[in-house]
Amino acid sequence: MENILISGGSGLIGQKITQLLELKGYSVAWLSRSSQRQKSFLWDVEKQTIAPDAVEWADAIIHLAGAGVADKRWTDERKKLILDSRVQGTRLLYKAVESAVKKPNAFISASAVGYYGFDTCASLMDENHEPGDDFLAQVVVAWENEVKKMEELHLRTVMLRIGIVLDANGGAIAEMMKPPIAAPLGKGDQWMSWITIEDLARMFVFALEKTTLQGVFNAVGPNPATNQQLTQAAAKAKGKPYVGIGVPGVLLRIILGEMAAMVLGGNRVSSQKIQKAGFEFECPDLIPALKHIYHR
């Protein structure tokens, strides 16, 4: 049995990964500001403190922690928190690993397809493309640069650039289905590179267990969809009314401010690299995936 330390374990993705790991017989502990579960270690990113025995307990670390990008309007203060929570959290883990006598074998980190920029139109993005120059892209670049430093400590390091996560109980699709009538956002032709939460959790476990895996991989399914296609299919799967008239972009900008660029733009992202490494999707197609998340 291996010991897996997870930052951000209480989040939507972290809970699903924890569940899967424990079913496979791993011992899982969370890094937390409070004792949220029986097995946890205390840390405080702002104060740059971490339980001294946390890293030495771990055979591997899965790093998910970071302030929610879409949780609140992007004030200057919120943008600073989004950046600092990722950079400073990774930096704290680096210092803890650096000073540990017994070091973990692997560091598996979340990242985001926001790396490529708010809107890359219909171009298919792979891991070799240059980053965008907007706020989220800059956050992801700074985050990944901190994660890469783990390689200096001889840890096998993997970064998974996560796309739109499909789950009925949280994330983007749950927000899109909240209004009484579902409708596309803006023109609806922006690409959404999606993955079910089960496949995403399986991908993190795959990255953990495949000891030859290293570097950056897109954590998206093989069949991206437009916002209109995804919204219409999700409405049908949930049994919700749908209209094809998009929510006007100008209204979204008034409501969301700068954050509107995130929902009005999109990315068409390739999953070929992780598939060539041996990962197989259980839900590669949109309509069966949505039926699965709403009727499982």
Torsion sign across C-alpha atoms 194, 197, 199, 205: positive
CB 167 within 8 A of CB 199: no
Q: To which CATH superfamily is domain 3-295 assigned?
A: NAD(P)-binding Rossmann-like Domain (3.40.50.720)
Taking phi over 0 as left and psi of -120 to 50 as alpha, with beta for the rest, 154 belongs to left
6-35 per-position pLDDT tens digit: 999 999 999 999 999 999 999 999 999 887
Question: What is the average pLDDT across 108-136?
Answer: 96
pLDDT tier for residue 293 given thresholds of 50, 70 and 90: very high
Contacts of 108 (CB under 8 A, 6+ apart): 60, 61, 62, 63, 157, 158, 160, 204, 207, 208
pLDDT at 51 over 70: yes
**CA–CA separation, 174 vs 185, rounded Å?**
14
Structure tokens at 29: 């502990």
Structure tokens at 90: 């990774």
pTM of the full structure: 0.96
**Which pLDDT value is given to residue 131?**
97
**Which pLDDT value is given to residue 34?**
83
Average pLDDT, the chain: 95
**Which pLDDT value is given to residue 1?**
61
- Which residues on adjacent β-strands are paired with residue 50? 43
Backbone angles phi, psi at 247, to 5 degrees: -65, 125
221-265 per-position pLDDT tens digit: 999 999 999 999 999 999 999 999 999 999 999 999 998 899 899
171-201 per-position pLDDT tens digit: 888 888 999 999 999 999 999 999 999 999 9
200-216 per-position pLDDT tens digit: 999 999 999 999 999 99
- Structural domain boundaries in the chain: 3-295
CB 33 within 8 A of CB 7: no
pLDDT at 296 over 90: no
pLDDT tier for residue 170 given thresholds of 50, 70 and 90: confident
